[in-house]
Amino acid sequence: MKKATIMIDKNFILSDIDERTYGSFVEHLGRCVYEGIYQPGHPAADEKGLRQDVAALIRELNVPVTRYPGGNFVSGYRWEDSVGPKEQRPSKIDLAWRVVESNQFGLNEFMEWTKTVDTQPMMAINLGTRGIEAAKNIIEYTNLKKGSYYSDLRRQHGVTEPHDIKLWCLGNEMDGPWQEGHKTALEYGRIAEEAGKAMRLVDPTIETVACGSSSLSMPTFGFWEDTVLSQCYDQVDYISMHQYYGNRDGDSQQFLASSDGMDQFIREVISICDAVKAKRRAKKQINISFDEWNVWYHSNEQDKQIEPWSEHPHQLEDVYNFEDSLLVASMMITMLRHADRVKIGCLAQLVNVIAPIMTSATGVWKQTIFYPFAMISNQGRGHVLHTQIKAPTFASNYGNSGYLDAVVIENVEEDQLTIFAVNKDLEDELELTSDFRQYEGYRLVDHVMLRHDDLKAVNTEANPETVAPVKGSRVVFEQGKLTGVLPTQSFHMIKLQKV
C-alpha cells in the first residue's frame, strides 16, 4: 500500500477564503434558464415561474455569487431587450449559440431569482458589439436610486429600489475569435479601461473583472494578460480565468492529473499580474476570478445535431460520471490552495448546461459533480492552512503528478478543521497520516466519502443516487494523530472538532 502524509502548522495560514470562490454561472444557453431555473406553468414553479424544486437544490449547493447572463451570449446582448413588459420584449437571434432568445426572462427576473436562492449577482456587460455608453446605462439602471432616465425607467418597470449590483465582468473571452466583437489585447484593454472608468463614475463602490485568456492553450496567453492589464490596471480588481477539461482519449489517470494544469495556469497568471504591478509601481494587487471552470466534453458530438434558430434546445447537456466528480473535487482543492489570490470562482454552469443539477418535465436530480461541490462549498469556510503533501507520484502531461490532492481548512469560529482529499490512484489504496497535535482537544466528528468501483457510473432521473456520498469508516484520530486508508479513486471530507 502506498503511503501519504499531510503536513500543516496552525501558524502557517495561507489566506482567508473568499466565499465567492464557491460561485456558479447562469447563461442564456440551452436549458439553463428556460426549463432550468425558470419554467412558468411547471407544477414546481411559483407564481413568477421560478422552479422551486431547482431552487431547493441550488440552496443545498450554497452558491454565494452567480455570474449572468454570459458567457458568449453576453457579447451580443442588449440588456434593454430583457426589461419592461414581457409582451413588449423582442425575440432576438443569438449568434453565439445560434438560437432564438425570447427575453421572457431578463435582468429583473434574474435579480428576483437571486433572492430566491440566496445568491449575489455577478453581472457581465457586452463589450463585444457594444461599449461604454451601454455599460454606463446598465449600471445607471441597476444601481442608481432615482432621478435619472434609466433609474426612473427601472422604477417604471416596477422595481422601486436599486439592485445595487457590486460585481461586474467587463465582457467575456474577448481574446477568442469565436466571440462577437473579438478584439486584440490592446483594443480590449482600452475599452475595458474606459468602460470601467465610466461605470465607476456612476457607482464608485463596484468591483470589476477584466477578461483574461479563454484558456491556457490560447496562442496569445501571457501576452494578452500583460497587454490588457497594462492598459486597464487602475480600473479593474480581478482578471478572469476560464478552463475546461475532458477525458477525450479515455486515459482516466491522465484526466485526473488535469488539476495540475489548472494549478500551473493559476501560478502563471499570478506571475503576470505581479509583473505588471511591478512595472507600474502600483500598490493595488490584481486577484483572480476563475469564473468559468468545469469538465466539458461529453456533449460535444450531440450538440452538432442541434437545429439552428430553435429556442432553448438540449445543448451542452453533459451527463457527468464518477471520474468527473473526482476531478471537480481536485479543481476546487486547487483553487483553495491559491486562496490568497483566487477570490472568485464560478462552476460553469448551474442547471442543465454542463451543470451539477439536471431537470426534466417530471423532476430534478443531482449529477455526480453536485456532491463534491456541495461538500466543499458548505464545509470549506474559514482560512486555508499551508498544506504540504508527501505522496507518491505518477508521470503525467504536467510532469510528476501526486496521487493525493488535499487541503486543510480551519474554521476558528466553529473550532473546526476540515480536510478535503482525493486519492487519484486507480489501482491502490493510500495509507494516510497527519499530525494535528497542535490542536489540543479536537476529535474526529465526521468522515464522508464519495467512491464508486466504476469510473463511468452516472446519476439519472431513474437512478439518481448511483453515485452519492457515504460514511467513511477507515480513518482514526487518536492523541492528535490522524491515520487511515483512502480507498482507490475516492474523494473525502474529514472533519475534526474541538470538544
Q: What percent of the chain has pLDDT over 70?
A: 100
Q: Work out the angle between the directed axes of helices 107-117 and 52-61 (0-180°, nearest 10).
A: 60
Averaged over 95-109, what is the pLDDT?
Answer: 97
- pLDDT (0 to 100) of residue 10: 96
User: What's the mean pLDDT in 191-209?
Assistant: 98
Going along the chain from its start, the domains and CATH numbers come out as 2-9+385-498 (2.60.40.1180), 18-379 (3.20.20.80)
Q: Are 243 and 265 a contacting pair, CB within 8 Å?
A: yes
Cβ burial, residue 35 (10 Å; 0-12/13-18/19+): buried
DSSP 148: S
Helices (H), 252-369: 252-256, 258-280, 300-303, 322-336
Q: Is residue 108's pLDDT more than 90?
A: yes
Residues 91 and 100 sit within 8 Å (Cβ to Cβ) = yes
Looking at the annotation, which residues are catalytic?
A: 173, 292
- Check pLDDT > 90 for residue 124: yes
pLDDT in tens, 30-67: 999 999 999 999 999 999 999 999 999 999 999 999 99
Q: Do 209 and 169 touch, CB atoms closer than 8 A?
A: yes
- Residue reference for cell 454606463: 136
272-280: list long-range contacts, CB under 8 Å, 24+ apart. 272/222, 272/225, 272/226, 272/229, 273/225, 273/229, 273/239, 273/341, 275/226, 276/225, 276/226, 276/229, 276/230, 276/233, 277/233, 279/230, 280/230, 280/233
Q: Over the stretch 131-149, which tens digit does the pLDDT of each residue have?
A: 999 999 999 999 999 999 9
Of 397, 373, 263, 376, nearest in space to 325 by CA: 373
Question: What pLDDT was estimated at residue 1?
Answer: 87
Is 215 a residue whose pLDDT tops 90?
yes
Predicted local distance difference test score (pLDDT) of residue 191: 98
Mean pLDDT, rounded, of the chain: 97
**What is the distance between the alpha carbons of residues 31 and 61, in angstroms, rounded to a whole number?**
19
Residue 120: how many other CB atoms lie within 10 Å: 17
Alpha helices (H) in 83-144, listed in sequence order: 107-117, 132-143
Name the grid cell of 400.
510528476
> What is the per-residue pLDDT across 412-423, written as a single tens digit (0 to 9) for each?
999 999 999 999
- DSSP per residue, 441-468: TEEEEEEEEEE-S-TT-B--SSSTTSS-
Give the pLDDT confidence of 147-185 residue by residue, as tens digits. 999 999 999 999 999 999 999 999 999 999 999 999 999
Q: Give the per-residue pLDDT at 457.
A: 98
| CB-based contact 429:1 (threshold 8 Å) | yes
Whether the predicted pLDDT of 23 surpasses 90 = yes
Q: Confirm if 346 and 24 have CB atoms less than 8 A apart.
A: yes
pLDDT for the residue 446: 97
Q: What's CA 122's distance to the chain center, in Å?
A: 11
Question: How many residues can be counted in the chain?
Answer: 499
Residue 19 falls in which region: left (phi positive, over 0), alpha (psi -120 to 50) or beta:
alpha
Cα–Cα distance list, 388 to 9, 76, 295, 404 (Å): 10, 45, 26, 11
H or E element at residue 156? helix 149-156
The model's confidence at residue 7, banded by pLDDT at 50, 70 and 90, is very high
**Mean per-residue pLDDT for 83-96?**
97
Contact status, residue 46 vs residue 40, Cβ threshold 8 Å: no
Task: Decide: helix, strand or coil at residue 106.
Answer: coil
Residues whose CB falls within 8 Å of the CB of residue 415, separated by 6 or more in sequence, listed in order: 442, 497, 498
Contact 81, 396 (CB under 8 A): no
Cell numbers 504540504: residue = 388
How many Cα atoms within 13 Å fall on the side-chain side of residue 85? 2
User: What nine digits make up the cell of 183?
Assistant: 478584439
204: β partners = none
Q: Are the C-beta atoms of 410 and 38 separated by less than 8 Å?
A: no
Span 428-450, mean pLDDT? Answer: 97
3-state helix, strand and coil shares in percent for the chain, rounded to the nearest 5: 30, 30, 45
Mapped onto helix, strand or coil, the DSSP state of residue 342 is strand
Cell matching residue 113: 431569482
- The Cα angle at residue 15 between residues 10 and 20, in degrees rounded to 5: 135
- Terminal C-alpha separation, the chain: 33
pLDDT tens digit string along 295-346?
999 999 999 999 999 999 999 999 999 999 999 999 999 999 999 999 999 9
Under 8 Å between Cβ of 176 and 213: no
pLDDT of res. 174: 98
Q: Which amino acid is located at 103 in the chain?
A: N
